[in-house]
Amino acid sequence: MATEYRGHGTPLAELGVRYFNAAGPQREMAALAHLSNTVTVPSNVTTVHITGQLGRIADGSIPDSIKEEFRAAFVAVEEALKVAGADGWRSVYKAQTYLTVEGTEGLPHYGELVKEFCGQNKPAQTAVTVPQLLWPKARIEIWVEGVMSTTGA
């Protein structure tokens, strides 16, 4: 049986976005990674799409630390959403992360940042390990979709 998590009082819940997790091992992963397995988005909102964002710092370089690179990528996503009028990560219902690091090296940092930036919202998420990203030395690229009120568009 599926359970619904509405995220009461969160910006996405106020827009009618609904979250679900099926019973079984999927629910355990959802709790561990602060995500939802299924998200529904109503037709009365504006969808915001951004391109993949890298973890580059102010001078354009990639930090040596994977933790710092994750934070820089999260900040870049936040800024890209805000220029469109969305509420940053709090507007995200779907995220895809591409990593060149294998295993769980970056997983704890990612989970901490999702909780910090998304608050109670739990977007549907996928993470994929790839051999390399287009930008030299980049290890992380995050692509998201968010929503905002059509009156805010």
CATH 3.20.20.140 fits 3-152, yes or no: no
Quick one: pLDDT at residue 2? 56
Buried b (16+ CB within 10 A) or exposed e, 15-48: bebbbbbeeeebeeebeebbbbbebebeeebbeb
Whether residue 103 has pLDDT greater than 70: no
Q: Which neighbouring-strand residues pair with 19?
A: 5, 39
Determine contact, residues 125/35, Cβ cutoff 8 Å.
yes
Whether residue 78 has pLDDT greater than 80: yes
Q: What percent of the chain has pLDDT over 90?
A: 54
CA angle 90, 94, 96 (to 5 degrees): 115
Q: Residue count of the chain, please give it.
A: 153
For the chain, give the mean pLDDT: 86
Whether residue 12 has pLDDT greater than 60: yes
How far apart, in whole angstroms, are the C-alpha atoms of residue 111 and residue 135?
A: 24
- Report the interhelical angle of 25-33 vs 107-118 (nearest 10°): 70
How far apart, in whole angstroms, are the C-alpha atoms of residue 62 and residue 58?
A: 10
Quick one: pLDDT at residue 153? 47
